[in-house]
Structure 1
């Protein structure tokens, strides 16, 4: 078949390869081109060990403190609040214990496929050099929060996720920069580690932009046709799927996949599916490589940011801001994030860096939308991955390819179906 994929981020380019594997002709459409958005500026993690939705006790424990700080790890623009209200109501509903349990099972099911799917894809294309197998580290500075994490660590271990609980000395032995900065913190009254958790099978990529571009280049070499254009609507007809392009053009395909992330809501609505998707604006700064002195990605629990040693520099990122697609960036959020880093690694001189803001497609239950449109099975949804776009891209591509071929997906796809939001 001739299949149109809308969106040339990491999901779209991974989809292109999975569909080319099946012998389809693939047309990829994007408003800017490969790796233009969050696929370029994310933290680079393949976080297959994560199992909790955002609407979890872990998040709610920090949320009251975060929300009252306009520059905190999570903020909501007052101007955007009326538009966000329906999303927030669904987020509260997703926080019920039964919904958290179901969401956790669905996140784990998809994430468990993720690293093997990436290994197969990258090995098959000769791109495995993009993968870094240094593990991922979580650190806590609050003793009570660290003690409370025992339940999560046990659950991850029960699910077969390798995790090693570390005391403060163990963290410092693994990453000596925490030892040197602890001495600085002792003189300034800041710093301090409660403990950590090492996920030895955690992985990251050398640079998310470079990976996305390499996948796009490889797909073009396999016959992918890439068109830079905005798809404004999908128009199913007897002869196939019409793609209405900005400027008035019309392209056609036998099937179409919506994979344009934060911009997918309008396209899904054009075929009758009204998805509660909103936009998390994420921020980061990338500084000179080696500045942080860390050898692996680190999550700073309770502080709302992560760091990653990329080939292109050390990236400090995180922060969730609900302000829509049109508001200008608030770069003070990056300064606030650097201030939180200074409390964990006191005395660190970060220097200048490249600042970035991008849009994550966020669904209240933290699950992507994967599967056919309700009224039009020739159109497949593949968007809304939130913080897991890079992690879940290759696995999502395999699920979509199976659906289009009429095969049963590797896992039960019902939790990701658009029908979970109610039929319209």
Structure 2
């Protein structure tokens, strides 16, 4: 297959037109690659940017549906869908049973450019827009939510943190690696610091050459595959959460170890681990951003990351829905007719698809607002909350629609349902999302 970036040349000319796409085969596949794209300008977005206080005149821009995609985004959707079906789908069940990500899949994710969607081209990335990354995450989750969350965390949390807060030296050193061959991990949660992320106990002390980190992290996604870790530790506990600071830790650093890999209900091919830090020495240049600003970084990055998790859940819901309806409308018969032709089933199918569509609109709206530089915090919370609820409902119904074939591990129906449960837990539980929504509503409606 050719690589994705040759199908998706995000080149924006001065007149606003996309440059022609050059399709060149890569050694990994026949799909086009994001990583071989080069353009000097910002990737095309469906909406104008409002960054740096620039509020464009929107009066002459025709209104379009939320789910209307730019040419770049359509290409992303189509090529990732094909890649997921052709390359990932044949390995999904084996990876789930082995509770391990196939290294060949990880390698191909890099070769396809899916690990560097927003990384600027000067660092070897695709230089695309945020919504394109969200579309890729959704399409991967239609086939395997485990692969989707690896790509999600790497792009929306790790790459974003380095691009936003990294020094020029850190960007030059690590972004080319993160774009081409190095999986990243975001290390915030701890045994007693989950929803209350700022109660973290991991500490950092300053030394003559940099810092030393001591403590442990828990529920860390991508931990087994990663070689690059963003670690949050308290550099000044006397200041409470305002002492929290972010650091970059390389795998193999003395004192760093993976203590345990969790055995999970769902997304089993995605690694989730406990990490230990025993006087891990971090050079001073590996300080990420400013001292004491880690709590602000974590909040901002997780708000963006929640849109990614919401996309994972809508993709999962679509995958479960499509898998089931194809079966009940084409294969499963009872009383002389296809099960999907019974009115009761049709009502459930119609309701489920309506909920999926509503959830996707929340996701795309949050992504568009983020791209436009608008306040998207409540939109991200609503998207994650509702998408995870829909994923749980639809994947559960899909098992029932398929009867015995939905319950056995021969197919994917039961896996979609198991995978859906994590959506209400990580990157902020559903209750945390509702707290966020309610607080923002209260602020708006209180005199």
TM-score, normalised with respect to structure 2: 0.23
TM-score, normalised with respect to structure 1: 0.23
Higher normalized strand content (fraction of residues): 1
Higher normalized helix content (fraction of residues): 2
Larger relative CO (CA 8 A, sep 6+): 1 or 2?
Answer: 1
